[in-house]
Amino acid sequence: MKKLSQRVQTNPFDKRYKVIVNHKEIIESKFEEALSEYSRISVVRFDLHIPRQCKGEDNPLASNESLMKRFIASLVSKLKYSYLRKPVSRTQILRYVWVKEKGKSGNEHYHVCLFLDKDHFGMLRGSSKGYSHLLSYKKPKKKSVQECIVEAWASALSIEPQLAEINVQFSDSKVHWINLNDQKTQSEEYRNVMKRLMYMAKPETKFVDLTKTRYIGHGSPTIKLKSLPVRA
CB 206 within 8 A of CB 28: no
Distance, in Å, from the CA atom of 83 to the CA atom of 116, rounded to the nearest integer, reads 12
Q: Which residues does residue 69 pair with via DSSP β-bridges, in sequence order? A: none
- pLDDT tens sequence across 143-160: 899 999 999 999 999 999
Is 92 inside a domain boundary? yes
pLDDT at 107: 81
AA identity, residue 229: P
Average pLDDT over residues 179-187: 96
In this predicted structure, the answer to whether residue 229 has a pLDDT above a threshold of 80 is no
Phi, psi of 229 (to 5 degrees): -70, 145
> What is the count of structural domains for the chain?
1
Confidence of residue 128 (pLDDT cuts 50, 70, 90): very low
Q: Is residue 84 part of a domain?
A: yes
Q: Which domain holds residue 200?
A: 8-127+137-221
DSSP 130: -
Collapsing DSSP to helix, strand or coil, 19 comes out as strand
pLDDT above 90: percentage of residues in the chain: 63
Reading phi first (left if > 0) and then psi (alpha if -120 to 50, else beta), residue 106 is in: left
What's the CA gap between 106 and 37, in Å, rounded? Answer: 39
Q: Is residue 229 part of a domain?
A: no
The answer as to whether 232 is a domain residue is no
CA 72/CA 81 separation, integer angstroms: 14
Task: Determine how many CB atoms are found less than 10 A away from the CB of residue 47.
Answer: 16
> Residue 93 pLDDT > 80, yes or no?
yes
Map residue 196 onto helix, strand or coil: helix
For the chain, the C-alpha Rg in angstroms (whole number) is 18
Q: Among 168, 146, 171, which residue's Cα sits nearest to residue 159?
A: 168
Q: Which of 32, 49, 28 is nearest to 150 (CA)?
A: 49
Nearest-10 crossing angle of helices 67-83, 145-157: 140
DSSP code for 226: -
The answer to whether position 74 is within a domain reads yes
In a domain, 121, yes or no: yes
CB-side neighbour CA atoms (13 Å) of 174: 11
Is residue 3, in this structure, part of any structural domain at all?
Answer: no
Residue 69 forms part of a structural domain: yes
Q: What pLDDT is stored for residue 173 in this prediction?
A: 79
